[in-house]
Amino acid sequence: MFDLTLAGARAGLRKGEFSSRDLTEAFLGAIETLNPVLNAFITVTPELALRHAASADAALARGEHGLLTGIPLAIKDLFCTQGVRTTAGSKILEHFIPPYESTVSANLLRDGAVFLGKANLDEFAMGSSNITSAFGPVVSPWTRNGDNRPLVPGGSSGGSAAAVAARLALGATATDTGGSIRQPASFCGITGIKPTYGRCSRWGIVAFASSLDQAGPVARTVEDCAIMLQSMSGFDPKDSTSADLPVPDFAAACRRGVKGLRIGVPREYRSDDMPPEIETMWQQGLAWLREQGAEIVDVSLPHTKYGLATYYIVAPAEASSNLARYDGVRFSSRTDGADLNELYENTRAAGFGSEVKRRIMIGTYVLSAGYYDAYYLRAQKIRALILKDFTDVFRTVDALVTPTAPSAAFAQGERMDDPLKMYFNDVFTVPANMSGIPGMSVPAGLDAQGLPLGLQVLGRPFDEETVFAVGAAIERAAGFTALPGMRAGGGA
């Protein structure tokens, strides 16, 4: 049963080969066994899951087949879930129980999904390793050949990615502000898509950087991501940046093929420090697409090298503003003080971890009087140049293919001495957030140490369909069947 994809499980449910209760109980059992090691879930909700499963089974018995009826999913603990604690991976929201449901999770419930629990993440989605969670790091289900040191699953959606890779859920919601869907998908050997900014409503998602945050799915296959994204997407008047556009049939787009498509290869993504295995896999991916009828074209995105530094102005600036709401008064833990200012300062000193504090302070500095033009306004102008780079190349190509991350997963403790080293994980993913375009990571192979490597497909705004077509073509050619050592239904 754990070998099923989301699409396979859906077919089995519709044929009555098993019930949603069977599936849900199997995943809850696997979580009970493996979560103490992986720490992929902060909160498991067995009673709620079985209630959802019972309604799904009743619906299936009536012949009602929703997009996701009876499918067990994990929900990143950044999506507010009514009556279920939502922590954002932070001590400051340790006891927060939302009185409302986020639009994305409500869409999934409308379509019949079963929620197993809330997936671990970097605190407020700030991180690339899941080390910054106040609820402890997530351990990747993968290990290097002959080396049992725990590896990071990537971040910030590390719990979501680890849960899917270890087969503790058929899919999971995730969010991506600078690469937080694509980089953990790459590290964990699964698929994830950040759709175009505006495709999924941000309403009810704990805000990090509002002009960059976008929800999307992680799942085992490209088609599974298409099915989940179909459900998660759609116009929402409660989010002022939600796109009022029809949602295409993403699953159908997976079957389109790439014959006649022009695929761009941005030369600025190539660097001397890139591990040769990643370069080889990139070339292999391009060869696969060429064999399936695509034309490969060299292109230039001249402002690529400035993406990361621009991001580290824009994201902290927006975060410092968004996180001002955690003041110890309305919905957070409180640490008392002699007066109101002291209460704020003590609450935030005790409630935020060091990376979150660092970003709030950077954001506060770049927005402070006298520095705004030099930092924030300059960053917004460079952001315009980054978008223009993409707009220009998408006049001549239909999609871009690059590596997802500059390395495979690393061990806990590695790269932790200097925040800048950690930030470089996102060098290939950040430009899609700066420009709002859709991006997907597809597993393409293993490195010499036996760890997964992903390729990234970038597309035009609101053309996720081409991204799905290219992603599915890479998936078909790669035939990626490697599995992590720690997983439900097999292995250690």
Q: Go through 68-78 and write b for each residue having 16 or more CB atoms within 10 A of its CB, e for each that does not.
A: bbbbbbbbbbb
Strands (E), 170-248: 171-176, 191-194, 214-219
Active site residue 105: no
Residue with Cβ nearer another protein (368 or 396): 368
User: In terms of C-beta distances under 8 Å and separation of at least 24 residues, what long-range contacts does 48-53 make, across chains too?
Assistant: 48/84, 48/115, 49/24, 49/114, 49/115, 49/116, 49/117, 50/21, 50/24, 50/25, 52/20, 52/24, 52/109, 52/113, 52/114, 52/115, 53/19, 53/20, 53/21, 53/23, 53/24, 53/114
Q: Residue 324 CB, nearest distance to another protein (Å)?
A: 8
As a whole number of angstroms, the distance between CA 163 and CA 233 comes to 22
Which lies closer to another protein via its Cβ, residue 226 or residue 243? 243
Q: Which runs of consecutive H residues, i.e. helices, occur in 42-166?
A: 46-61, 103-110, 158-165
Half-sphere exposure of 215 (CA within 13 A, CB side): 32
Task: Locate the DSSP E strands across 267-425.
Answer: 295-299, 399-403
* Residue 102 falls in the annotated catalytic set: no
Query: Is 180 a known active-site residue?
Result: yes
How is residue 477 written in tokens? Answer: 């050619």
Q: Is the Cβ of residue 188 or residue 437 nearer to another protein in the bound state? A: 437
CB nearer another protein, residue 18 or residue 365: 365
**Tokens read off for 411:** 């061990």
Q: Label the pairing between strands 72-76 and 114-119.
A: parallel
Of 243 and 472, the one with the shorter C-beta distance to another protein is 243
Q: Going along 245-366, which residue ranges are E strands?
A: 262-266, 295-299
From the list 19, 133, 156, 201, the catalytic residue is 156
To another protein, the closest distance from the beta carbon of 348 in angstroms equals 5
If we measure between CA atoms, which residue out of 229, 384, 396 comes closest to residue 303? 384
- The three-class DSSP label of residue 478 is helix
Paired tokens of 449: 């140490």
Q: How far is the CB of 361 from another protein (least distance, A)?
A: 5
Do residues 445 and 275 make contact, with C-beta atoms less than 8 angstroms apart?
no
Closest CB to another protein among 96 and 208? 96
In the complex, least distance from residue 276 CB atom to another protein, rounded to whole angstroms = 27
Q: Give the residue with the Cβ less far from another protein, 33 or 240.
A: 240
> Alpha carbon of 438 to those of 149, 179, 462: distances in Å?
34, 11, 7
Report in angstroms how near the CB of residue 83 gets to another protein at its nearest.
10
Please report where in the chains the tokens 């289900």 appear, as a residue: 141
Q: Which of 180, 186, 233, 441 is catalytic?
A: 180
Q: How far is the CB of 338 from another protein (least distance, A)?
A: 7
Taking the least distance from each CB to another protein, the nearer of 47 and 418 is: 418
CB of 345 to another protein, least distance (A): 4
Tokens, residue 306: 């400035």
Asked whether 487 and 234 are in contact (CB, 8 A), the reply is: no
Shortest Å, Cβ 435 to another protein: 6
Task: Supply the residues annotated as catalytic.
Answer: 76, 156, 180
